[in-house]
Structure 1
Amino acid sequence: MKLTFSAAAALLAAGLLGLTGCGAGDNTATAPEPESVAPAPPTPSVPQTPLAPEPQGGAELKVADSDLGEIVVDSRGMTVYYFTKDVKDSGKSNCTGECIAAWPPVLTESDNPKVEGITATIGTITTPEGRKQITIDGMPIYYWVKDKAPGDTTGQGVNDVWYVVAPDGEMVRK
């Protein structure tokens, strides 16, 4: 296969763009295929949970003080959120597609995630990809990709549907 200089440059630019990683995107951008090659069928994209819990014997979820009061965070101090469009005890998440790219689920390997200081009921649901997403009082919980450091709560109130979680399982609407 012979590539022209402009086609090679376009492929290189697309590859470099993909390596930079758009923080709020779903990282599924692909380089254009040369005309003589049929495109591969799309593969489902499973967003990677930023700073997924790695408890190493510690709690997967715990309580932290914030400007919103005491809230639930993961083992690294990253804030977790409720989505008001989820239905309590439904066993599923209503955050799908582009929503999951911006609001990745808080995942676990355990059926009984270890927690510290949380009085609400902790459980799990199974994601469409077969992974375990943590729930608090029957509501799935999520990260916000724009929270970059422990204690960030920049997802609070986004679109009037995303709210941090209190240790008793209440949605913090401050």
Structure 2
Amino acid sequence: MKTSWRNASLVASAAAVLALTTACGQDSGASSVGSQNVGATAAAGGYGGLGSGIGTGTETSPSASSTSAVGQGNLGAQSASAGKLQVSANPELGDVLTDATGLTLYRFDEDTAEPPKSNCNGDCATAWPPVPADDASAGAGIDKALLGEVTRADGSKQLTIAGWPAYRYAKDTKAGDLTGQGVGGKWYALAPTGKKASVASLPGLSTRNDPKLGEIVVDKNGMTVYRFAKDKAWPKPVSNCNGACLEKWPVVSPVSANDTKGVQKKGLMSFTRGDGARQQTVNCSPIYTFSGDKEPGDTNGQGVGGTWYAVRPDGKMVGVSDK
């Protein structure tokens, strides 16, 4: 009877070791690491262009021909009065301000709210049609005192929200579209308060569908999560980002497995770094955020140095071919 108990214990111990080996041995690092830098190129022209997707920051300035070609089926809606403004709940950005038809309203970082001033003209105003101030009114959840107007360079009146000039985006063609979010690192959906729409309450780790990179992992603030190709996951997590590296690539602190959504649970663990701090992993690979990402949806760290890549839900690196 004692012998059977001892044999059973040995089998259980071996199974536990095997499970740990499997969990932390799935991805032993990058192979065929490329030098592609998807999402790290700054937008040209200062105002972005007719790009697509939330927060890629990679769109370029449109030419006159491309500007006129995109979104032609929606030009009437883009130039129409805002009507009664609405608040739309977005799972990634929280409350977003829209016009009466549900089209997202945006603000531009190069504008000013005090005093109100629009710095989007010419081709910029074609890609980002200013919202006319006439006939705009506050719907439910919107403080009517925040609505105002500013006189543009061409003499027209543009709607302002808490002083910020409001725009639509030419490539938003239907209610709920948010293709202008994060374009050029300067264009953001408006919250009902006039501020940039903030991320809704998120788990410690979750995923979002990036139009350029696909499904990627984000932290509790909606910031893109990255892996360092020089780190190790096997036989145990090892971070090779230290000292000054950590100023650019802050570690993701430990997250409970119950505080995640859409991220692979296998290999989801934390470990003690060489400097004594605790760091989270996905599939046993250490994860970080990037100081160059300023807003949720930014992916400016993708491909940096040919060694930093956004993380897929299974822990693999976006843009890296694994054997």
| TM-score scaled by length of structure 1 | 0.65
8 Å CA contact 2:82, 2:99 repeated in 1: no
User: Per residue, is there more helix in 1 or in 2?
Assistant: 2
Code of the residue aligned with 1:23 in structure 2: it is V
Structure 1: runs of 5+ lacking an equivalent = 1-17, 26-46
Change (3 A) 1:51 1:131: closer
- Hey, what does 1:65 align to over in structure 2? 89
Larger Rg: 2
Code of the residue aligned with 1:70 in structure 2: it is D
Separation in 2, partners of 1:127, 1:103: 14
Change (3 A) 1:80 1:123: same
Change (3 A) 1:129 1:49: farther
Paired residues for 1:67-146 under 5 Å: 67=91, 68-110=93-135, 113-116=136-139, 117-119=141-143, 121-146=146-171
- Hey, what does 1:22 align to over in structure 2? 69
Code of the residue aligned with 1:132 in structure 2: it is K
Paired residues for 1:28-39 under 5 Å: none
In structure 2, which of residues 190, 211, 217 is the aligned counterpart of residue 165 of structure 1?
190
CA-to-partner distance for each residue in 1:38-81, whole Å, 9 max, x for gaps? xxxxxxxxx976162363xxx1x121112321110000000000
SS of alignment partner, residue 150 of structure 2: strand
Separation in 2, partners of 1:79, 1:98: 20
Separation in 2, partners of 1:97, 1:51: 15
8 Å CA contact 1:105, 1:143 repeated in 2: yes
- Hey, what does 2:220 align to over in structure 1? none
| TM-score scaled by length of structure 2 | 0.37
Separation in 2, partners of 1:86, 1:92: 6
Separation in 2, partners of 1:87, 1:51: 22
Structure 2: runs of 5+ lacking an equivalent = 1-64, 198-294, 297-323
Once the two structures are TM-superposed, the CA of residue 93 in structure 1 deviates from its matched residue by 0.6
Once the two structures are TM-superposed, the CA of residue 22 in structure 1 deviates from its matched residue by 0.7
Change (3 A) 1:130 1:49: farther
Separation in 2, partners of 1:48, 1:92: 24
Code of the residue aligned with 1:63 in structure 2: it is V
CA-to-partner distance for each residue in 1:136-159, whole Å, 9 max, x for gaps? 111101011011110100100000
- Hey, what does 1:50 align to over in structure 2? 78
Report percent identity of matched pairs.
38
